[in-house]
Amino acid sequence: MNETDAKPAFTACPPPLIPSDVDLRDFRFMPLDVVQLQNSETWAMADAWAAKALVNLWIKAWHQVPAGSLPDNDDLHRTWANVPCWESVREVALRGFTKCSDGRLYHRVICQKALDSWNGRKRFRRAAKARWKNKKTKAATHMQQTSNAHATHVQQQHAEHMQGTGTGIGTNRKNAAGAAPAVEISEEAELFRRGKVVLGDSAGGLIKKLITAKAGSIALARAAIETASTKQDPREYVAACIHGPEAGARSNGWDPGL
In angstroms, the CA 252 to CA 58 distance is 117
Cα distances (angstroms) measured from residue 57 to each of 20, 42, 53, 107, 133: 19, 13, 6, 10, 41
Start-end of H helices in 103-217: 108-176, 182-199, 204-213
Q: Collect all residues with Cβ–Cβ distance below 8 Å to 33 and sequence separation of at least 6.
A: 113
pLDDT of residue 71 exceeding 50: yes
**CB distance 214 to 251 below 8 Å:** no
pLDDT value at residue 254: 46
What are 4-55's pLDDT values in tens digits? 444 444 468 999 999 999 999 999 999 988 998 888 889 999 899 999 999 9
- What is the mean pLDDT of the segment spanning 106-133? 91
Angle between helices 86-93 and 74-81 (to 10 degrees): 100
pLDDT of residue 75 exceeding 50: yes
Q: Between 217 and 184, whose confidence is greater?
A: 217
Angle between helices 234-243 and 218-228 (to 10 degrees): 140
Start-end of H helices in 200-247: 204-213, 218-228, 234-243
pLDDT value at residue 73: 97
Which among 17, 12, 42 has a CA at the least distance from the CA of 104?
17
- What is the mean pLDDT of the segment spanning 108-130? 92
SS3 call for 147: helix
Total Cβ atoms within 10 A of residue 114? 29
Which among 180, 190, 184, 185 has a CA at the least distance from the CA of 222?
190
pTM: 0.48
Q: Between 68 and 160, whose confidence is greater?
A: 68
What are 189-205's pLDDT values in tens digits? 999 999 889 999 988 89
What are 152-187's pLDDT values in tens digits? 877 787 777 766 655 444 444 444 445 555 444 588
